[in-house]
Chains A and B, each alone.
Chain A
Amino acid sequence: MTSRVREIIIRNLFAFLAFISVMLLGLIVLFLFREGLPLFKQISVNRFLFGSAWYPTYNPPEYGIWPLIVGSVIVTAFSCLIAVPFGLLSAVYISEIAPAWIKEILKSIIELLAGLPSVVLGFFGMVILAPWMQETFDLPTGLNIVNASLMLAVMAIPTISSISEDALYAVPREYKEASYALGATKYETIVKVAIPAALSGISTAVILGMSRAIGETMVVLMVAGGAAAIPRGIFDSVRPMPASIAAEMGEAPFQSGHYHALFATGIVLFIITLIFNLIADHISNRFKEEGSGTL
């Protein structure tokens, strides 16, 4: 076999494999829409998205997912509030401040955290954190927004931290050296030079962390409490969209309204994560010219 023939074969094989994975993704999306869209023959998109009652198994059924959307958005927002400072500051520490040996240890610990199965986190939240939280603060329930957000934050921190760290690492050495040469302190250099130069990478990290949190299922199924109502406070239970899909899909009769409604909820979730990823993509492209400190 000549090397040219081999080259052609390998190139085509790679193209074929790439095509297959894209096609699989396309088929999944197609399936999702095919199973979800028939719902809108029964009710309007408006009543589905903004209806406040989710009673899919009653007669007549009600398929309003507004409380589920609110639940998802709230736990995601809160988990970001917790995960962004921790993720970003640990990235700054690891890439700018820590001595080499601490850096190695911390990096591997954070990688370990990323590999923690979500069911383990959920179990921890349910069996340890929830009773403790309920008892200590005398709350009506420990299965609430704060608990779910904390567990989701633990999942989002490794994502945010490792991508931010890569972004900080890619900030050109000359930038920092120039800053020191002008007499800036280490703190000033980090805050005014390194972080701004790596901002697009950091934003990407935050958005990817958020899209991880909003799609997470097991944790919210186990610790968010599962009340399909608009919460009145941060210690109320909520039922985020993935929890609803996971808890109910098993019993939803095939091709019924309930079944289509769960797939339609999946479409909403898909669109939200798609938007997140497009924003992340846009940010990392848009600010590329600011230096090599981008991903």
Chain B
Amino acid sequence: MNHYLKPLILMISLLLVGAGAAFAENIVIKGSTTVLPIAQVTLEAYMKANQGANISLSGGGSGEGIKALIDGSTDIANSSREIKKTELELAKSKNVEPKENVVAIDAIVPIVSPRNKVRDLTVDQLSQIYQGKITNWKEVGGENLEIVVISRDSSSGTFEAWGELVLKGAKVSPRAQLQASSGAIVQAVSKNRYALGYIGLGYIDKSVKALTVNGVQASDKTALSKEFPVSRFLYMYTNGEPKGETANYIKFVLSPAGQALVKKEGFVPLPRKK
């Protein structure tokens, strides 16, 4: 009898815990794949510290997240860019008030293979290369090799930020290759001395060489001071001031513990306020 009792008690207590969780608020987070790792580690830590909290997270891109915030299917929209005017208007027409919460800073760094001799490119040179106006490494101080331009797909926040910060609205050359993830860009660039790509500071590893831009090395410091030209804020949008569980979660992300996790993921933490 004792044999059966233990599992039974365990099961009942599990059921009770489950019921408790069902009463707690569920938070839905959706959006940018750049912000996804931040949300992932912070919500894991948050749920560990707050038994019963229930948060579900999915990617889909910044636009997808904001779309979901507007139609009410998510509580938090992760975004790697500021909300667009058209989106803001659409939100207003549906009585949604997107509230911006900056959660981290991201720097997008041009990368080449370690075998490429080029060390620095200016924003202007990067722009010309991505527009297809500069096509050979020797024009920017490298070997006489064709430049293979690698870009992210047009649905990524990284692509959008790169287009805004580097190309300033000019069109990416149709000859540019398209990769669907930052990992794929590292994979494509690491062994290819023809290639030029761009990724978030957090994705840089030893297999690729990060270029300096306008002579500035990408780092936490230079991204924070905006000295590094290709840096941007990352956002978690909420409908109005965050309330209840959502407010607690965002508070946690912004706390020193949350920002330590942000840093661990390779992003630049926000400076301490006060």
A residues near B (Cβ < 8 Å) are 53-58, 67, 126-127, 130-131, 134-135, 140-143, 221-222, 225-229, 236-237, 239, 247-248, 250-254
Contact = CB atoms under 8 A, between A and B. Distances in A.
B195 A227 contact: no
A54 B172 CA distance: 11
A201 B170 CA distance: 52
B174 A225 contact: no
A250 B174 contact: no
20 contacts: A67-B174, A126-B184, A134-B191, A135-B191, A141-B188, A143-B188, A226-B179, A227-B175, A227-B178, A228-B178, A229-B173, A229-B174, A248-B155, A250-B64, A251-B60, A251-B63, A251-B156, A253-B63, A253-B67, A254-B67
B191 A250 contact: no
Q: Interface centre among A127, A130, A228, A252, by most B CB within 10 Å?
A: A228
B43 interface: no
Nearest to B174: A229
Interface stretch (B4-12, B146-154, B225-233, B250-258): B146-154
A86 to B, nearest CB: 28
Interface in B131-155: 145-146, 148, 153-155
A141 B194 contact: yes
Contacts, number: 76
A137 to B, nearest CB: 12
Contacts of A252: 155
Contacts of A127: 187
B187 A247 contact: no
Nearest to B179: A226
A226 to B, nearest CB: 3
B54 interface: no
Contacts of B192: 131, 134, 140-142
Contacts of B179: 226
A54 B174 contact: yes
A132 to B, nearest CB: 9
Contact of A55 (B61, B171, B184): B171
Contact of A226 (B155, B171, B173, B177): B177
Contacts of B148: 140-141
A107 B174 CA distance: 43
9 tightest A-B contacts by CB?
A251-B155, A226-B178, A229-B174, A140-B194, A247-B153, A225-B177, A57-B154, A140-B148, A131-B191
B180 interface: yes
Interface residues of B, number: 28
B35 to A, nearest CB: 15
Contacts of B173: 229
Given A141-B192, A226-B178, 12 more contacts: A54-B174, A126-B184, A134-B192, A140-B146, A140-B194, A141-B194, A229-B174, A250-B64, A250-B155, A251-B64, A251-B154, A251-B155
A172 to B, nearest CB: 51
Interface of B: 60-61, 63-64, 67, 145-146, 148, 153-156, 171, 173-180, 184, 187-188, 191-192, 194-195
Contact of A225 (B61, B145, B155, B178): B178
Q: Is the interface of A mostly helix, strand, loop or mixed?
A: loop
A242 to B, nearest CB: 13
B191 A237 contact: no
A56 B188 contact: no
A61 to B, nearest CB: 11
A24 to B, nearest CB: 27
A53 B187 CA distance: 28
Given A141-B195, A250-B60, A250-B64, A53 B177 contact: no
A140 B195 CA distance: 7
Q: Interface centre among B63, B64, B67, B154, by most A CB within 10 Å?
A: B154
Contact of A250 (B61, B177, B184): B61
A252 B60 CA distance: 11
Contacts of A222: 184
B187 A58 contact: no
Contacts of B184: 126, 222
Nearest to B191: A131
A141 B177 contact: yes
A226 B145 CA distance: 21
A118 to B, nearest CB: 15
A248 B67 contact: no
Nearest to A254: B67
Contacts of A135: 191
A54 B154 CA distance: 11
Contact of B177 (A56, A131, A143, A253): A143
Nearest to B160: A57
Contacts of B195: 141
B153 A248 contact: yes
A141 B147 CA distance: 10
Given A58-B171, A253-B63, A126 B187 contact: yes
Contact of B178 (A56, A57, A131, A239): A239
A236 B155 CA distance: 23
Contacts of A247: 153-155, 178, 180
